[in-house]
Structure 1
Amino acid sequence: MFLTILGFLAGIIGGMGMGGGTILIPALVLFAHIDPKIAQSVNLLSSIPMTIFALIIHIRNKNVVFSLVIPIAIFGVLGAICGSFVANYLSSEILKKVFGGFLLIVGCIEIKKGFCDQKKEKCGK
């Protein structure tokens, strides 16, 4: 039941374009006690069908700017290849810390944006 709910939440987050791995990877590592490398692999594989359906809906709603997609996709693929090789050489403990640090930074940025939007003020970068 846990994995079903987790997959559903990751699908919602991924469908909104925020990356289901933000939910899926930490949940698999913390609650299902899965090795971070395995959790990353599960996230990547499970994101394929979720991404395809979300992409179809976004294209139908004309929310895709293809001139932005092409360079991001090309360099994203190159980055994914490099990241996969690097992940193979790092320990699971280091990957946990790096991913946790990344989530912390993203969380702080989102909190700052939420406060700035709420006050209708411009915040410094």
Structure 2
Amino acid sequence: MEWIWMTLAGLISGILGSMGMGGGGVLIIYLTLIAGLDQRAAQGINLILFIPCAVLALFSYVRKGLIDFRTALSAAAAGLVGALGGVFLSGWLDVVWLRRIFGVMLLFIGVRELFAKKPPPREEKEEEEKEKCGNQSAEK
């Protein structure tokens, strides 16, 4: 029965992660709270799961022309520096503090999402709507 929950956690994490929605949070919560793994082990497993998900998602995003490579390379460089810092910090901090930091981050993100203002519609969509309205009134 445990493998069913593990499979579901991995599936949901993969789906959310490939959509860029932080599926690792789901997996880490499952691995620490339900599977009883140490925070560091859960983070390591999460990183391993992320590799194939990222490769598959990246392939799809590149194929659809959704990647701005200049921005992506800047973000990747900053991410590598952050990853090195994170590796150092996770080895230096006690597991209790890692769990607390992770929990506070999840809480912050959740509260922010609950109270975030809806982003304004993109200008392209507004222009398309105007064109549709103009075409409909011309047909009448």
Both structures adopt the same fold (TM-score exceeding 0.5): yes
Amino acid in structure 2 at the alignment position of 1:9: I
Give the structure 2 partner of residue 123 of structure 1.
none
Q: What pairs up with 1:2-81 in 2 under 5 angstroms? A: 2-81=5-84
Give the structure 2 partner of residue 84 of structure 1.
87
Deviation of 1:82 after TM superposition, in Å, equals: 1.1
**CA RMSD for the aligned pairs?**
1.4
Give the structure 1 partner of residue 107 of structure 2.
104
Deviation of 1:110 after TM superposition, in Å, equals: 0.8
Q: Give distance in 2, aligned partners of 1:19 and 1:68.
A: 20
Scaled by the length of structure 2, the TM-score of the pair is 0.79
Instruction: Give the unaligned 5+ runs of structure 2.
Output: 121-140
The runs of 4+ residues in structure 1 deviating greater than 4 Å are none
Larger radius of gyration: 2
CA deviations over 1:75-110 (Å, ceiling 9, x no partner)? 100110111011001111110000000000011111
Q: Give the number of equivalent residue pairs.
A: 117
